[in-house]
Structure 1
Amino acid sequence: MFLPTTKEEINQLGWDRPDIVLVSGDSYIDSPFIGIAVIGKALTRAGFRVGVIAQPDVQSDHDITRLGEPRLFWGVSGGSVDSMVANYTASGKKRHSDDYTPGGDNNRRPDRAVIVYSNLIRRYFKNTVPIVLGGIEASLRRVTHYDFWSNHLRRPILFDAKATYLLYGMAESSVIELARCLQTGSDPCGLRGLSYIAGSAPDGYLQMPSHEDALAEKRAFIELFHMFYQNNDPLNARGLWQKVGDRVLVQNPPAYYPDQADLDAVYAQGYEREQHPYYAAQGPVKALETIRFAISTHRGCYGECNFCAIAVHEGRTIRWRSEDSILEEARQITAHPAFKGYIQDVGGPTANMYAIECAKKLKLGSCPDRRCLYPEICPALKIDHSRQIALLRKIRAIPGVKKAFVASGIRYDMILNDRQHGRDYLKEIVDFHVSGQLKVAPEHTVGSVLKRMGKPAPYSVLEFKKMYDELNREAGRDQFLTYYLIAAYPGCTDADMRQLREFAGERLHIHPEQVQIFTPTPSTYASLMYYTEMDPFTLEPLFIEKDPARKERQKNIVVDKFETRGHRQ
């Protein structure tokens, strides 16, 4: 069932007005991959009346007033992608397309969408009910953060959006608790997963460096980020506060992760797997092509790559769905009238982390002084792919499923570490779950750059390639590996890119045609490196390539067939 998006739908339901209106930078797709759909259905299941306004016109009141003022609160999200990432390339050029906008033209999502939508609401609804920020754009900008597009530190987003509260992370449980507080008139400021602005700090919370101190001293910003990052696990995090001018940003400890039954319930909410008809009439959205018949098996990632914010937004602990829940979703997919037999992905942030987690972490929370996979895989993490093998076999045995692809990236170091089932898992992928090519993400091959990325040493990708090629020969298949590579990463020089090119040609036997220029995004260690020009763990100076033309040159060193135009220096 779709949530209502028009006054006519509200009237058909017999409502006088919604309890909650959710505003999003994406078109409204009813899918378990779309945050607004998940949050809206969770609130509906809890008994609240929820409406959706997707991609409102920010130049008029035409859209934002369409459902009237909600009774409890407005929920504002920039969408599935940070609006600045959605709108601009790594070189600062405006993107012409948007996979979440009808028709594909990038003409509906404003820059800094969360701020713009909040101001739009206040423009037409004076003294309105609380405005609550959520989604990845707000979540990753909840404290002082480096903003690449303006090239300076911005205040916590609550201050610029002039919103009331912010719910960070995956907020299904905390948004329901907030709605219940507002319904009963009780104070929500003690809720887990909530940030808000106050006049003073709660007792027992840790004080981060102030916004002003972070602006004045880069080492203060490094200290701030360490505290922010290390207090992100619900089992051991402390509450945080930060002075911003004469007020205080308060971040309560994270919401507890859902247990398996709760997570299963999130995916059993009857998603249409379609664009809402009101928005479908404006044109199709390309994103639906990849998520309509895909299955998310788990959340979180303990890879903790320094350029990725998944660990901050979804968490470092894997929470996985039951096998029964996943198989039931697969059966529902086969009943969809548009299904042609192909499940587009079975995975998560990292596909092969399903059902693999550290028992100590599940009990005590993430370790404050070490990572699960870097610099080596922690011996406390017992890697066993057997449950994934069994799951994939059961999915492809479902009547109507011709093929179920594993399109999410995989951690090849985990496969190599699993001496008992790793090769069997990869054989399963090679024989049944690859569409011609498998995605892996070495990102680079030079040790000093990999260290700044938090990625494994290059020998592991060679060992993995050898195993992959052997299995393809045994199966009589001609399938390839696709490598994600990054240029202009903090600490990376032109010489490093030449070494990468040589490694790719001589050891991987490829000539890369696609290399991504590093984009500093909020709330990652890589962006901290980029802004401070220091290694945040050692405080040693780092070379940072900031000139757009030279960033492009780093990329071209790898993708050009010959080094020309002055590349040899």
Structure 2
Amino acid sequence: MTDYRLSDWIPTTKKEVELRGWDELDVILFSGDAYVDHPSFGCAVIARTLEAQGLRVAIVPQPDWHGDFRDFKKLGRPRLFFGIAPGCMDSMVNKYTANRRLRSEDAYSPDGRHDCRPEYPTVVYSHILRKLYPDVPIILGGIEASLRRLTHYDYWKDELKKCILCDSGADMIIYGMGEKPITALCKELQEGRNIHEIHDIPQTVYLIKKKDFVNDIKSDDLILHSHEECLVNKKFQAENFRHIEEESNMLHAHRLLQEVDGYYAVVNPPYLPMTTEELDSCYDLPYTRLPHPKYKNKRIPAYEMIKHSVNIHRGCFGGCAFCTISAHQGKFIVSRSKQSILKEVKKVIEMPDFKGYISDLGGPSANMYAMSGKNKSICEKCKRPSCINPNICKNLNTDHRPLLDVYKAVDSLPGIKKSFIGSGVRYDLLLHRSDDENINKAAKEYTRELICRHVSGRLKVAPEHTSDRVLKLMRKPPFSQFESFKKIFDDINTKENLRQQIIPYFISSHPGCKEEDMAELAVKTKNLNFHLEQVQDFTPTPMTVSTEAWYTGFDPYTLEPVFSAKTQREKLAQRQFFFWYKPEERRNIEHELMRLGRPDLIRQLYPRPLQNYANKSKNENNRTTGSRKEKPRGVRRRNNR
């Protein structure tokens, strides 16, 4: 393992800046996360990207936002701009559960501490910097700003919020994965352009007075309902979102305009997806792959989860209604080369605490590597948010052979005992039958390879629900596909004498879901011998179809009314069905089912009298009991910057 010096990290203090012999900085990044110099941590990626341009860049991780703001002053004024990277996860999702309760720890802070960042760090940091340095440009990035680039619903404040540029006072948002736009912006600023004149960089958002922009509106611009209109008519907000989602998933998108407070929020179309060579170059930057030395003897939970993992692609074409991955990373898959992946695996092997096990060789969805449209001209005209829902696109190449090749290459390296797949697997891709029998054969081979060689005792999959009506709103496949996949999983385990479990994720209180749906979920999962563990309530987060349906009461694509459980009582009434097997839950569940007029479900859940069932429950030692305590998804493999 390389013996690193302090100067091998991006500087975080004045002393570290001086160690590099610098008397001025070009860019200073303020991060809501601890500084981990690893390609899974967005601020590190952006900093290394800027460094590769020859720029002098520093990171101020988790600055103290109280008192005299000394952390905001200590490095002085940058030559180009301040960048704000609030964190790999939305700050509010990272801090609170769906019931607005404090999570057990902040996964991106030393020792999991909750006091290292404010709520909405994007806004808090921007206000401080604007006060201290009113003439220095402030650029917003990361998932918090990216998904708040237009009018959005904020669950934690229970209100419709403006474009985050309005509340923060910053100059520009770089949305999505930021390497290309940040590079272009630096070039423009170095050439002497004023930040208020830079309006042509793809994948950026800026504000401009309406009266100064009227003559610049193009015929193909999409003008959304104004923020003020959305405040008085929720259906307008739902209509807006359909355009926002479709344009964010198009290769050749239109510019979006939304009026707010006499300004236009202008969203430039995104860049085309990176090439494999461009993505490889991002992972080839000189990361130490370690937390900054300032965190010596401190545990950063998110780093502990991913330090022996390797990300093999970006993007996800699943288009799940409640997920923000495609909204931030895009639906088009960008895969690393096998050589680049092996190069990083070799770095992991050299780590002194590596015991031979790669914890995750995956991506946002584990088995989408190297998948794309067969006829690219069809993709160029497409605006479907999902390539696999409501059915798998005939133009999608679903060949698992490139991924199998990567697995086998990694496993053949000296020092590798096993590579596990910790990311979620799309079983609908494995069950899909192509017109090409070689692709079908590869899917079958991949399934066996996955189950026999890459499961660390438990395989995570996400059916999310059992009701096909709710699953349709979620943009997930029918539950029958999960049942088919579980049978394959069980058969292979039996034949290979393996004792592995399949761990399904489920969501309660999703738009469209009612108590009766959750009761039927309890019965169906009981019949499959599950005592559910991987469960959570739906959490509305900005810029998802599900959130818009939850807030507005309308499906953004059909504008038909959609029911959502919103009160604490309604949510708990749904959630209790996850835990039907707990004796203390039985009386409430029976009462609710009688109220719903479904005594038939009582008989299916509880075929024995109450006392006998309670005695039996005490003696059961079921393999999947317990609650996940609403751990935020996405810590392992989101890579959001």
TM-score relative to the length of structure 1: 0.97
Distance 1:471 1:44, change over 3 A: same
User: Does the 8 Å CA contact 1:317/1:362 hold for their aligned counterparts?
Assistant: no
Tell me if the contact between 2:239 and 2:559 (Cα under 8 Å) persists in the aligned partners: no
Aligned ranges for residues 171-250 of structure 1 at < 5 Å?
171-186=178-193, 187-200=197-210, 201=213, 202-204=216-218, 205-233=221-249, 235-250=251-266
In the alignment, is the contact (CA less than 8 A) between 1:361 and 1:367 conserved in 2?
A: no
Distance 1:502 1:234 in 2: 40
Farther off after superposition, 334-343 or 557-566: 557-566
Q: 1:65 to 1:83 in 2, by over 3 A?
A: same
- Alignment partner for residue 467 of structure 1, among 454, 470, 488? 488
Match of 2:592 in 1: 567
The residue identity in structure 2 corresponding to 1:491 is G
CA distance in 1, matches of 2:526, 2:61: 46
Q: 1:502-541 alignment to 2 at 5 Å?
A: 502-506=523-527, 508-541=528-561
CA distance in 2, matches of 1:477, 1:3: 46
1:554 aligns with 2:574: yes
Partner in structure 1 of residue 161 of structure 2: 154
Aligned pair partner of 1:304 in 319, 334, 343? 319
Going from structure 1 to structure 2, the CA distance change for 1:281 and 1:69 (only over 3 Å counts) comes to: farther
Distance across 1 between alignment mates of 2:249 and 2:44: 25
Q: Give the secondary structure class of the aligned counterpart of 2:367.
A: helix
Q: Which residue of 2 aligns with 1:346?
A: 361
Which residue is 1:377 aligned to? 392
Counterpart of 2:99? 91
Shift of 1:225: 0.8
- Work out whether 1:66 is the aligned partner of 2:74: yes
- Counterpart Cα distance in 1 of 2:191 and 2:148: 29
Contact 2:229 2:236 in 1 (8 A): yes
Distance 1:128 1:433 in 2: 53
User: Partner amino acid for 2:396?
Assistant: L
> In 2 relative to 1, CA 519–321 (structure 1 residues): closer, same or farther, beyond 3 Å?
same
Aligned-residue offset at 1:332: 1.4
- Identify which range, 330-339 or 38-47, moves more after superposition: 330-339
Alignment equivalent of 1:263, drawn from 266, 271, 279: 279
Q: Which residue of 2 aligns with 1:11?
A: 18
* Correspondence for 2:339 among 293, 301, 324: 324
Show CA shifts across 1:430-478 (max 9, x none). 1211100100000001011101101001110011111111111222101
- Take 1:343 and 1:68, find their aligned partners in 2: how far apart are those partners? 41
Residue 433 (structure 1) aligned with residue 477 (structure 2): no
Per-residue deviation, 1:62: 2.3
Deviates more, 1:102-111 or 1:403-412: 102-111
Work out the number of aligned pairs and report it.
566
Residue 469 of structure 1 aligns with an amino acid whose one-letter code is D
**Alignment check: 8 A CA contact 1:143 1:156 kept:** yes
Cα distance per residue 1:260-285 (max 9 Å; x no partner): 1110000011221211012x048221
Q: Residue in 1 aligned with 2:503?
A: 482
Instruction: Report the alpha carbon displacement of residue 124 of structure 1 after superposing the two structures with TM.
Output: 2.5
Q: Distance in 1 between matches of 2:397 and 2:298?
A: 47
The separation in 2 between residues aligned to 1:366 and 1:83, in whole angstroms, is 35
Using the size of structure 2 for normalisation, the TM-score is 0.86
**What per-residue deviation string (whole Å, max 9, x for no partner) do you get for residues 49-105 of structure 1?**
110011111103121112111110011021011111111110011224111111112
**CA, structure 1 residues 102+366, in 2 after alignment: closer, same or farther (shift >3 Å)?**
farther
1:268-307 matches, cutoff 5 A: 268-278=284-294, 280-281=295-296, 283-307=298-322
Give distance in 1, aligned partners of 2:250 and 2:521.
Answer: 39
8 A contact 2:507–2:538 mirrored in 1: yes
Counterpart of 1:556, as a letter, is Q
Report deviation, 1:233: 3.9
Q: Identify the residue that residue 124 of structure 1 maps to in structure 2.
A: 132
Residues 236 and 364 of structure 1 are in contact (CA less than 8 Å); yes or no, is this contact kept in structure 2? no
* SS of match in other structure, 2:205: strand
1:41 counterpart letter in structure 2: R
Question: In the TM superposition, what is the alpha-carbon distance from 1:560 to its structure 2 partner?
Answer: 3.3
Q: Give the aligned partner of residue 501 of structure 1.
A: 522
1:370 Cα deviation (Å)? 6.9
Q: CA deviation at 1:537?
A: 2.2
Provide the residue aligned with 1:46 in structure 2: 53
Deviates more, 1:193-202 or 1:297-306: 193-202
Per the alignment, residue 41 of structure 2 pairs with 34
Q: Distance in 1 between matches of 2:71 and 2:358?
A: 35
Distance 2:381 2:526 in 1: 39
Letter in 2 for 1:247: Y
Q: Do the aligned partners of residues 271 and 130 (structure 1) sit closer, same or farther apart at CA in structure 2, a change above 3 Å counting?
A: same
| Matches for 1:109-148 after TM superposition, within 5 Å | 109-125=117-133, 127-148=134-155
Change in 2 beyond 3 A, CA 1:370/1:264: closer
**Cα drift, residue 366 of structure 1:** 6.3
2:555 aligned counterpart, secondary structure: coil
Whether the aligned pair in 2 keeps the contact of 1:19 and 1:48 (CA below 8 Å) is: yes
Contact 1:89 1:95 in 2 (8 A): yes
CA distance in 2, matches of 1:369, 1:320: 21
Displacement, 1:552?
2.1
Equivalent in the alignment of 1:446: 467
Q: Deviations over 1:403-441 (max 9, x none)?
A: 111000010010011522112101111121110010000
CA contact (8 A) 2:246 2:385 kept: no
Pair 1:198–1:369, CA change in 2 (3 A): same
Q: Which has the higher helix share?
A: 2
For the aligned residues, what is the CA RMSD? 1.5
Contact 1:301–1:317 under 8 Å retained in 2: yes
For the 8 Å contact 1:97–1:104, the answer to whether it is kept is yes
Q: Can you list the C-alpha shifts for 1:313-335, whole angstroms capped at 9, x where unaligned? A: 00011110111110111111111
- Greater CA deviation, 485-494 or 531-540? 531-540
Asked whether the 8 Å contact 1:514–1:559 carries over to 2, the reply is no
8 A contact 1:241–1:251 mirrored in 2? yes
Question: How far apart, CA to CA, are the structure 1 residues paired with 2:490 and 2:178?
Answer: 42
Check the 8 A contact 1:229/1:312 in 2, yes or no.
yes
How far off its partner does 1:361 sit? Answer: 4.7
**Comparing 542-551 and 148-157, the one that deviates more:** 542-551
Q: In 2 relative to 1, CA 96–439 (structure 1 residues): closer, same or farther, beyond 3 Å?
A: closer
Moved more, 377-386 or 152-161: 377-386
Q: Give the Cα separation in 2 of the matches to 1:512 and 1:55.
A: 37
Is 1:317–1:361's contact at 8 Å kept on the other side of the alignment?
A: no
Counterpart among 110, 118, 121 of residue 102 in structure 1: 110
SS of the equivalent of 2:50 reads helix
Residue range with higher mean Cα deviation, 228-237 or 11-20: 228-237
One-letter code aligned to 2:420: F
Gap runs ≥5 in structure 2? 1-7, 434-439, 596-641
